[in-house]
């Protein structure tokens, strides 16, 4: 079995049983690995029960999964996926993470870990070169993610290891909590930290020295070289290498992609003060990358207050910056560090704090509601204080920790939230790039940006092989199909698992898959594989009650903004969805994939679950 280690670790925390399960070879070519295989496993194990499962109950499955490319010589293949039913959205949840944990899990001899049940008291899982055991984590419970990682590394004394961990917020089951790895790398979205916390699982250690065998090493290296040269031609490769993702801020504002003042504006006069260039000129220490990365978009910074720590990404700078009208970059460094240590998704918390400011602005909440903290636009001290309160789930911080939708419900303004299916919209505005509209409305997690790369496509990076080409970012025609194809293609990256910033084209990805696994994908079957995976997750969501009614954008992002890069444009979501549904062959009334589509994709056995 090339590209795979051939087994999954199955852990039942209730009974403390651990066993090896062989990978089902029949599932590999159609579902690849990563979140594709994880969703297949969940559907097979849970079936129609999925809809009724409480995400924070022992019955929910928590799956850590790598893919065939993880830990190989393919560039940027140091990723892994964390999947579960999400406590934030109550539908399919997944979060992708960089660092080194994915490769180390394979070096430890496993393709993935399936976790169910709940430990009686805090434990951590030590996966060590072909075997695994549970150890007491009482001494780690309550500690931040940085300290927990340091303690485990020191105690286990193994240089070749990686740790993935939750912080106090995940322990306290906050729906906006994340899973952290290799210091500042986050599996950020969908509340995966709370699922881990609900199982009393503080951390997972992966260590080992096993090799990932590939089918044809020489041919693989040759095509990797070609793909890398092509990748280097992308503008984003150079931008992310030299400035990190924060290097995109000025461009984002020029295109109207970067939301300001809770999606009500698109220009921010203090942008220069929080941009990547500012970070580079002042506190930048060094760049760092995930395993095997040739871009190294990570930034290590050093400030008087924090010492050496990870610098904020583009998403964080906008979510805790311009979205809140906050031009104080030091407060963003601090809030980012606090979020990483507590294990909080910076997109969700930034957006939820901005929503609270919006509610205050509209007179829905007052200073008393926010524990006396003056949560008004641009108040950087209040933002940091709210992050601290959220980390402790204390007072108004407890309300923030539930996410925007829950806050909206509490104050009778759910329809005002910038969420899709309960997930906070990331820092890319569909009024600047129309394809994001149907992309956000239909993504299986709710609104997410990385897996579809639609903003890059709208900026002029086409995928010619699939005719994914946008000639005008402000037209709706064709965007439904572009969104669907991009979801299918880039969904493969989360199955493979490689970083979406890699921009490997299908012409290179098909042979890369083949030289690693020995399978026989071509460009067309690659896209069908992505389509199968996307529809599998849609079935999961249909079982959770998701239908056409949920494929929409919130009102707040559908108002024209005359000033700035969106130029007063607003996408027509329904128009795009008509095209999207037709392309996908989904039923317009119910939002389910039609039976014949499921049959075409080899998913007919799941048709009876939803029809």
Q: What are the residues binding ligand SF4 (CB under 6 A)? A: 76, 78, 98, 240, 289-290, 293, 295-298, 499, 501
Least Å from the CB of residue 435 to ligand SF4:
22
Least Å from the CB of residue 314 to ligand SF4:
11
Least Å from the CB of residue 188 to ligand SF4:
12
Q: Which residue has the tokens 């670790």?
A: 9
Least Å from the CB of residue 399 to ligand SF4:
31
Note whether 431 and 440 are within 8 A (CB).
Answer: no
End-to-end CA distance of the chain: 36
Nearer to ligand SF4, 293 or 317 (CB): 293
b vs e for 106-136, b when ≥16 Cβ sit within 10 Å of the residue's Cβ? bbbbbbbbbbbbbbeebbbbbbbeeebebbe
Nearer to ligand SF4, 237 or 536 (CB): 237
Give CA angle at 44 (39, 47), nearest 5°.
95
Least Å from the CB of residue 482 to ligand SF4:
23
Nearer to ligand SF4, 36 or 78 (CB): 78
Least Å from the CB of residue 107 to ligand SF4:
17
Nearer to ligand SF4, 365 or 504 (CB): 504
Least Å from the CB of residue 96 to ligand SF4:
9
Q: Which residue has the tokens 């941009």?
A: 275
The CB density around residue 583, as the number of other CB atoms within 10 Å, is 16
The per-residue DSSP string of 213-268 comes to --S-HHHHHHHHHHHHHHHHTSHHHHHHHHH-GGGGHHHHHHHT-S-BTTTTBS--
296: its two tokens: 């190294």
Nearer to ligand SF4, 316 or 576 (CB): 316
The CB density around residue 456, as the number of other CB atoms within 10 Å, is 22
Nearer to ligand SF4, 34 or 78 (CB): 78
Provide the 3-class DSSP secondary structure of residue 107: helix
Least Å from the CB of residue 245 to ligand SF4:
7
The CB density around residue 228, as the number of other CB atoms within 10 Å, is 17
Nearer to ligand SF4, 30 or 33 (CB): 33
Nearer to ligand SF4, 296 or 507 (CB): 296
Give CA–CA dist 190/211, Å, rounded.
32
Note whether 193 and 167 are within 8 A (CB).
Answer: yes
Burial of residue 558 (number of CB atoms within 10 Å: 0-12, 13-18, 19+): middle
E strand or H helix at 116, and its extent? strand 112-116
Nearer to ligand SF4, 310 or 579 (CB): 310
Give CA–CA dist 217/147, Å, rounded.
39
């Amino acid at each position: 079995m090339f590209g795979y280690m051939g087994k999954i670790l199955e852990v039942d925390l209730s009974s403390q049983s651990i066993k090896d399960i062989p990978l089902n070879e029949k599932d590999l070519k159609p579902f690849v690995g990563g979140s594709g295989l994880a969703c297949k496993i969940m559907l097979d194990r849970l079936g129609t029960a999925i809809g009724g499962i409480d995400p924070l109950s022992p019955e929910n499955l928590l799956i850590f999964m790598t893919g065939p490319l993880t830990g190989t010589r393919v560039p940027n293949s140091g990723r892994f996926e964390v999947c579960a039913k999400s406590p934030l959205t109550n539908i399919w949840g997944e979060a992708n993470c960089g660092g080194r944990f994915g490769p180390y899990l394979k070096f430890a001899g496993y393709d993935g870990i399936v976790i169910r049940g709940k430990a009686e008291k805090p434990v951590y899982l030590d996966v060590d070169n072909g075997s695994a055991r549970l150890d007491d984590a009482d001494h780690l419970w309550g500690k931040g993610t940085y300290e927990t990682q340091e303690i485990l590394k020191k105690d286990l004394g193994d240089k070749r290891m990686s740790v993935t961990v939750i912080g106090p917020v995940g322990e306290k089951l906050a729906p906006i909590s994340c899973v952290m790895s290799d210091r500042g790398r986050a599996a950020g979205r969908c509340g995966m930290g709370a699922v881990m916390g609900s199982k009393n699982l503080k951390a997972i250690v992966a260590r080992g020295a096993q090799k990932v065998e590939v089918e044809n090493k020489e041919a693989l290296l040759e095509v990797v070289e070609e793909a890398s040269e092509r990748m280097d031609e992308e503008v984003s490769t150079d931008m992310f290498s030299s400035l990190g993702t924060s290097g995109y801020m000025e461009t984002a504002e020029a295109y109207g992609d970067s939301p300001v003042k809770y999606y009500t504006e698109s220009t921010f006069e203090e942008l220069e003060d929080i941009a990547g260039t500012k970070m580079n000129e002042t506190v930048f220490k060094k760049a760092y990358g995930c395993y095997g990365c040739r871009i190294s978009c990570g930034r290590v910074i050093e400030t008087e207050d924090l010492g050496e720590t990870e610098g904020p990404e583009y998403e964080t700078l906008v979510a805790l910056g311009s979205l809140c009208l906050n031009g104080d970059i030091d407060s963003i460094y601090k809030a980012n560090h606090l979020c990483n240590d507590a294990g909080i998704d910076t997109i969700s918390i930034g957006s939820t704090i901005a929503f609270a400011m919006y509610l205050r602005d509209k007179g829905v909440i007052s200073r008393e509601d926010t524990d006396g903290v003056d949560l008004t636009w641009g108040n950087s001290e209040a933002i940091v204080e709210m992050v601290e309160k959220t980390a402790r789930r204390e007072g108004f911080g407890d309300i923030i920790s539930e996410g925007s939708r829950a806050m909206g419900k509490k104050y009778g303004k759910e329809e005002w939230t910038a969420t899709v299916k309960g997930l906070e919209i990331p820092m890319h505005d569909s009024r600047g790039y129309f394809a994001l509209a149907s992309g956000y409305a239909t993504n299986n997690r709710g609104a997410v940006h990385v897996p579809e790369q639609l903003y890059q496509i709208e900026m002029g990076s086409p995928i010619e092989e699939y005719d994914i080409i946008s000639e005008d970012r402000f037209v709706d025609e064709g965007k439904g199909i572009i969104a669907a194809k991009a979801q299918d293609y880039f969904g493969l990256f989360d199955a493979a698992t490689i970083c979406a910033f890699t921009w490997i084209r299908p012409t290179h990805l098909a042979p890369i898959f083949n030289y690693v696994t020995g399978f026989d994908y071509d460009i067309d079957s690659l896209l069908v594989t992505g389509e199968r995976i996307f529809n599998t997750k849609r079935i999961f969501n249909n079982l959770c009650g998701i239908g056409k009614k949920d494929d929409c954008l919130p009102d707040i992002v559908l108002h024209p903004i005359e000033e700035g890069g969106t130029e007063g444009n607003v996408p027509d979501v329904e128009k795009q969805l008509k095209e999207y549904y037709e392309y996908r062959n989904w039923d317009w009334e119910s939002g389910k994939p039609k039976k014949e589509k499921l049959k075409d994709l080899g998913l007919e056995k799941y048709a009876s679950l939803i029809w």
